[in-house]
Every structure is written in C-alpha cells, then in structure tokens.
Structure 1
Amino acid sequence: MKINHSTPENSIALTTSLQYITGPHWEPPTIPNATTYWRCSSCGRESIRERDLHRTTFHAPSCEVQEC
C-alpha cells in the first residue's frame, strides 16, 4: 500500500498543525485488527489517517488548532 504524505487541500498551516499532531501510535496487540493512529494533543481527536489532522474541520471547535 502506498501512503501519500503530501499536504491535502483545505489544510491548516503545517507549522501550526505539526506541533499538535502526535503519532503514529500503535494500538495494543490484544485488539483485533490493531493498527496505528494519529492524535491531536490539543483536542484529543484521533484518526488512522494522518492527513485528517491537517484539516481544520477535523478538530473540535475549542481546539487550539482552530484558533490559529
């Protein structure tokens, strides 16, 4: 599987989002079909696709990423 790490359209500035995006995190091996995920350290939202965290609409309204 090929992963595209390019910046998606409608993205927030990388300098803003990168300070809040953490990951990849691994799910515990006890979970069936465990995978990796990414998390916003400001609002706590998670996704298995890093590119989701580069969109302002993904974050909670009170998230610091929204304010930048």
Structure 2
Amino acid sequence: MECAVGLSIAELASSIPHGQIGVTTVGEVRQAGGDVIRTSGRSANHATLRSLNPQQVSQLLTPTVLNPAKQQL
C-alpha cells in the first residue's frame, strides 16, 4: 500500500509493478474500522493497512483500475 498527502494516484502507483491497482482513501479505511500506518517498504510512501479482514479490504479496493503509472510509459 502507498500513502502520502498531496501526491497523485499516478505518483503513488509508480512503485507498484502491477497493471491494475485498487484505490481508496485513509478516511474510507478508518470509516471501515481500520487504520493506515507508514511502514518501511518498496518506496518512501509505503504504508500498512491494519485492523480489517480480507473481505473488508477487498471491498475498499474493488473495483480495480488500470495503474496510471504504467499507462504513462
């Protein structure tokens, strides 16, 4: 998961190798009872989603969209 204030989805998705991504907001995650915590990872914007079960996460990240960072290549 990538998370940062002020960056576009394409900027956040630039380190994600997949052609499709799920998009949500920290507000939507928190409204569902979860949280987003910055953690170390592939990029400086890496974060971990906590306190939600797989079904809740899937609902937040569905439908997926084409990774805009891959479309710009």
* TM-score, with length taken from structure 1: 0.29
| Highest RCO, 1 vs 2 (Cα 8 Å, sep ≥ 6) | 2
